[in-house]
Amino acid sequence: MKLGDLSITYVEVIASTMRTLGADPDALLGQYNILPETLASPDTRISIPRFMRIGHDAIQQTKSPWFGLEMGRHTWPAQLGLAGLVAMTAPDLRRACQAIAGFELLSSFNARGASSFSLKEGKPALKFYSVSPYNAYNLFVVDSVLSSWAHILGVISGQTDGILESVDIEFSDPGYADVYRRYFKCPVNFGAGSNRLVLQNEALNLPVIQSCHSVYEGLKRQAERELDRVRLGLSVTEQVARTVAPLLDGETPELSKVASRLNMAPWTLRRRLQAEGKTYQDVLNATRKDLAVSYIRDTSLTLGEIAYLLGFGSAAAFQRAFRRWTGEAPGRYRENCR
């Protein structure tokens, strides 16, 4: 299992942001073999680790630690694919937020979790999932997503103020908190329990300026069909793997918990896996192995952090499992990959 992938449109946003900041993105994209025809391909996806490396290089070239925040200003509804188009024609911001989160999978897949829109403690919030702990390679991802959501909500409603009540960010102040407040124009809370935009209650009813009911319904139906097609194309084994991955943080999820997430009885799930020649333990082990290889190869997470993310009780237990899976110690495997 990969950590996830994104539509190539997100790389287009990196390129346009670099140009705005006075840097030439062509050489950087060339290093990653991303050609103009690659950017023009509607079906091209890029892995999350590769995207993070490109973003990190862009930060170095522009000398802008807040590069992700600036990316938000260069993200437009259409660059979110069908999710953005549905939001752009929705009747109000409530249904626009539902589209942004609900159809995210069509342009972005994260093995560890997904965005959501919900009312928490009576407050409407758009929540973004990101793998922690944070480092120089993934801070900008959180910045770019939250900033782009804020920018898009402002664009489609025609409102520059009065939409956001606050912004919550999981990591601590990276040293330029004043820049966050300048971009979001509202209180920003670092060290929070999640990454999210908290909206004003009254903002949910703000009309979308390009709303068109018939076009909205047509695009929404198309997005729902595409979402069904993506989900129905997955085997039961793949569905279980995608469900297990976000549940691994610090624990090993039981089959009953996974079955509940898939709206199945445990014995039904067990029977369907058996029909594909698998057991739940097979899928759990394979998911852990695939994610472990991706974490070791594509991130700078420590072994202890990876052990926690995969539900192991200790780094030593994870190292034993990794050696059993690959025949190598994780440290040596990482060195060879580099």
CA distance 236 to 170: 33
Do 97 and 163 lie in one domain? The reply is yes
CATH number at residue 329: 1.10.10.60
Does 105 lie in the same domain as 179? yes
- Domain holding 279, by residue range, is 235-337
* Cα–Cα dist 14/218, whole Å: 31
In a domain, 41, yes or no: no
pLDDT of residue 121: 67
Checking if the pLDDT of 90 tops 70, the result is: yes
pLDDT at 138 (0 to 100):
83
| 296 and 191 inside one domain | no
How far, in Å, are 58, 72, 128, 299, 309 from residue 132 at the CA level? 21, 21, 12, 11, 9
**Of 226, 244, 269, which closes a domain?**
226
pLDDT digits (tens, 9 = 90+) for 154-193: 999 999 888 999 999 999 999 999 999 999 999 999 999 8
Which conformational region is residue 318 in: left (phi greater than 0), alpha (psi within -120 to 50 degrees), or beta? alpha
pLDDT: which is higher, 96 or 36: 96
Mean pLDDT in residue range 313-327: 90
Count of Cβ atoms closer than 10 Å to residue 101 Cβ: 19
Find, among 275, 277, 247, the residue nearest to 260 by Cα: 247
Domain assignment present for 266 = yes
In a domain, 47, yes or no: no
Domain assignment of residue 50, yes or no: no
The per-residue pLDDT of the chain, averaged, comes to: 90
Work out whether the CA dihedral 128, 160, 167, 178 comes out positive or negative.
positive
Dump pLDDT digits (tens) for 196-230. 999 999 999 999 999 999 999 999 999 999 988 88
% of the chain at pLDDT higher than 90:
59
Count helices and strands in the chain by DSSP H and E runs? 17, 8
Q: How confident is the model at residue 19 (pLDDT cuts 50, 70, 90)?
A: very high
pLDDT of residue 333: 86
The secondary structure of 33-65 as a DSSP string is T--HHHHT-TT-EEEHHHHHHHHHHHHHHHT-T
Distance CA 283, CA 149 (A): 35
Q: How would you list the strands of the sheet with 123-128, edge to edge?
A: 116-120, 123-128, 195-199, 164-169, 188-190
169 and 187 inside one domain = yes
Query: Is the bond preceding 133 in cis, omega lying within 30 degrees of 0?
Result: yes
Cα distances (angstroms) measured from residue 264 to each of 168, 228, 267, 269, 271:
34, 18, 8, 6, 11
| Residue 191 shares a structural domain with residue 259 | no
CB burial of residue 31 (10 Å; 0-12, 13-18, 19+): exposed
pLDDT over 60 (residue 1): no
pLDDT digits (tens, 9 = 90+) for 254-286: 999 999 988 889 999 999 999 999 999 999 999
pLDDT band at residue 4 under the 50/70/90 scheme: confident
Boundary (domain end) residue, out of 165, 196, 226: 226
Which of 226, 255, 284 is a domain's end point? 226
pLDDT number for residue 251: 82
Domain count along the chain: 2
Instruction: Check whether residue 135 and residue 222 sit in a common domain.
Output: yes
| Tokens 């974490």 belong to residue | 295
The pLDDT of residue 132 is above 70: no
Residue 90 maps to a domain: yes
For residue 183 the two structure tokens come to: 């971009």
- Return the minimum-mean-pLDDT range out of 90-99, 176-185, 246-255: 246-255
Say whether both 259 and 293 belong to one domain. Answer: yes
Return the pLDDT at 58: 95
In a domain, 11, yes or no: no
**Tens of pLDDT along 27-77?**
999 999 998 888 888 888 898 888 989 999 999 999 999 999 999 999 999
The residues, ordered by sequence, that sit 6+ positions from 136 with a Cβ below 8 Å of its Cβ are 56, 59
Whether 18 is in a domain gets the answer no
Q: Output the six-digit token pair for 33.
A: 């073999």
In a domain, 31, yes or no: no
Distance CA 187, CA 165 (A): 7
